[in-house]
Chains A and B, each alone.
Chain A
Amino acid sequence: MEFVGDNMQRRLRGAPFYAVLAAATAITLVPIIWVFASALKSNKEIRENALALPQEWRFQNYIDAWFGASFDQYFFNSIFITVASVAIVLFLSSLAAYSFAKMRFRGNQLFFFVFLIGMAFPLSAKLGPLLSLMYKLNLANSRLGLILVYVAGSLPFAILMLRAFFQGFPQELEDSAALDGCSRFQFYLRILLPLSKPSLMALGIFVFMGTWNEFFQALLLINEDSKRTLPLGLTAFQDEYFTDFALSFAGINITAVPVIIVYIMFQRNLIEGITVGSVK
């Protein structure tokens, strides 16, 4: 009996928390739902009542946005650049982090510090010379160029995170592998990487989101339409169709949906990637 009463009381005490959380959730979700709903309306409906729900679901807006503008191309560019960047970051940062965490060599601390200071500067601190360099190397307006810039930008955080993780690995593991005739590269490939899967996942999703969403450097380095990523393509699209309300909404959604899908699938990994650097 007392147990039930206690439970009731606890539930009532939680009510204000739920009320505030529900209100906050409305503030985050309603604009997103509204943008999705508006993409299904006609221009006339939007103009006459911006708040109303669509009278009938018009998927035509999406078809027009996808085929009318170059969203298929932007989409491919984004996928290609993001997947390549994530793969290269994971490979290079895990190699380097293994070296920093487990090997003794002159300059270990120094090189690690060199990576760390890269995180101290704002993005704008490198943009001018970066643009010159990319033109000089013929890497401006190129997907490869953008990949290299994104990889270089993600490496410091990736190495910092993986180094901390690898340092937790017992030395005995490596010693016994060495006794069995396992070279250090084999150890890295066959033992270290498989055992680090959760960390690599968290890091990979984190880098994926950052790269997929990046806008500033893409805006600076890309001005050919066929090389644009989704965020960049969306700005061009919006400039062109700003008077076509419904089409604009559809364009925003096409850019947002892939991130939402990745988020739903890998929510835990993403949040782990964000918080791992903060606690400790």
Chain B
Amino acid sequence: MAHSLGGLGKRGPGPRVRFDLMPYLFILPAVVIYVVFNLGPVLASFFFSFFKWDLLAPTTEFAGFDHYDFILNDDRFWGALSHNFIFLGLAVVIPVSIGLLLAVFIYEIRRGRVFFRAALFLPAIFSGVVIAYVWKWIYHPFAGVLNPALELVGLGAFTQSWLGDHKIALYSTFIAYTWASFGYSMVIFLAGLQDISTDIFDAARVDGANFRQKLFRITIPCLYDVFTFVITLRIFTAMGVFGVIYILTGGGPFYSSDVIDIYVFRMIGNFEMGWATAAATVNAIIVVCLSTGFIKWREWRSWSS
């Protein structure tokens, strides 16, 4: 195959530009699997969100913006989306700050760095399913450990139905998410810290800089690009949170912890593929705009300062 095509190129007039098939053969299997099972369905989801569906199969009957009209007038869609945004707002602050501080602390100590990094990252290795069940038991009304533990330390007033109260269910799931995700930010910050020249910290010490000054004047500015990466990662995980909430609350009670991915999954389960693809498309547009917008803004800021 390669030879025959190579010969074909040679026969033509003009300079001998040999068509080289090898590079294409090397990428071909990856391209095929990726396009069929990943990018193709994404594009199909955009495209067919404008068509009527017959159960699981898209039809050729044009639906225009009907599906969008439905979801954009659906309170549950906006409820789910707002919960994603609450999640995002908390996620870019809380796990990121915890991760940064713990990374700095690990960087500052001499002995036990490997142990603390390994132990603090441990929850991040588990499936969302395992994390959710661990927390489901922690929160469990009578076999759980959180309420008795609060009573034990004299905080009995704070005991409550962590997953059953519609005012706090979303935040209870966020605690489980944080427990399992600050480790990610931490190891990335730690890798970034190890890339900063030690000279600059030595100079700061000679000048008598205290911990806070070092953190805000040196560490955080030096980790500018790492911050961009860590926060972009949070945008993806917070806007795409599914397993932890699906298992802890299923989006309830009364949709109070519903998020977009559960909304989409529920629509697919009801064979409402038009609504599902429309909601997924809106969500995808938001995620792409947020993440690229954020990265561009960070680049522009670092360039203009």
Do A and B form a real pair? Answer: yes
Give the interface size bracket for B toward A.
Answer: 35 or more
A190 at the interface (CB under 8 A from B): no
A residues 133-184 near B (Cβ < 8 Å) are: 133, 135-136, 148-149, 151-153, 155-156, 159, 184
A95–B31 CA distance with the chains assembled, in angstroms? 11
Contact A21 B195, beta carbon cutoff 8 Å? no
Contact A95 B122, beta carbon cutoff 8 Å? no
A269 at the interface (CB under 8 A from B): no
A123–B283 CA distance with the chains assembled, in angstroms? 10
Task: Tell me the dominant secondary structure on chain B's binding face.
Answer: helix
Contact A95 B29, beta carbon cutoff 8 Å? yes
Contact B127 A255, beta carbon cutoff 8 Å? yes
| B275 closest partner in A (C-beta) | A128
A115–B148 CA distance with the chains assembled, in angstroms? 50
Q: Please encode chain A, from 237 to 280, with 1 for each CB lying within 8 Å of some chain B CB and 0 for all others.
A: 01000000100110010011001100100010011001101110
A87 at the interface (CB under 8 A from B): no
A residues 85-101 near B (Cβ < 8 Å) are: 92-93, 95-96, 98-100
Task: Tell me the dominant secondary structure on chain A's binding face.
Answer: helix
A111–B98 CA distance with the chains assembled, in angstroms? 39
Within the complex, what minimum Cβ distance (angstroms) separates B217 from chain A? 19
Of B24, B45, B112, the contact of A125 (CB 8 Å cutoff): B45
A57 at the interface (CB under 8 A from B): no
Contacts of B283 in A (CB 8 A): 122, 124-125
Give the interface size bracket for A toward B.
Answer: 35 or more
B129 at the interface (CB under 8 A from A): yes
Of B22, B230, B287, the contact of A103 (CB 8 Å cutoff): B22
Query: A65-73, A194-202, A208-216: which lies at the B interface?
Result: A208-216
B residues 195-232 near A (Cβ < 8 Å) are: 195, 226, 229-230
Contact A118 B41, beta carbon cutoff 8 Å? no
Contact B34 A152, beta carbon cutoff 8 Å? yes
Interface centre among B33, B129, B134, B138, by most A CB within 10 Å? Answer: B129
Contact A148 B33, beta carbon cutoff 8 Å? yes
Contact B116 A21, beta carbon cutoff 8 Å? yes
Contact B137 A249, beta carbon cutoff 8 Å? yes
Contacts of B260 in A (CB 8 A): 124
B5 at the interface (CB under 8 A from A): no
A271–B114 CA distance with the chains assembled, in angstroms? 11
Contact A248 B187, beta carbon cutoff 8 Å? no
B183 at the interface (CB under 8 A from A): yes
Contacts of A216 in B (CB 8 A): 242-243, 261, 265
Other 7 A-B pairs with CB < 8 A, given A29-B122, A123-B240, A148-B37: A47-B143, A92-B29, A105-B23, A114-B31, A213-B130, A234-B130, A271-B117
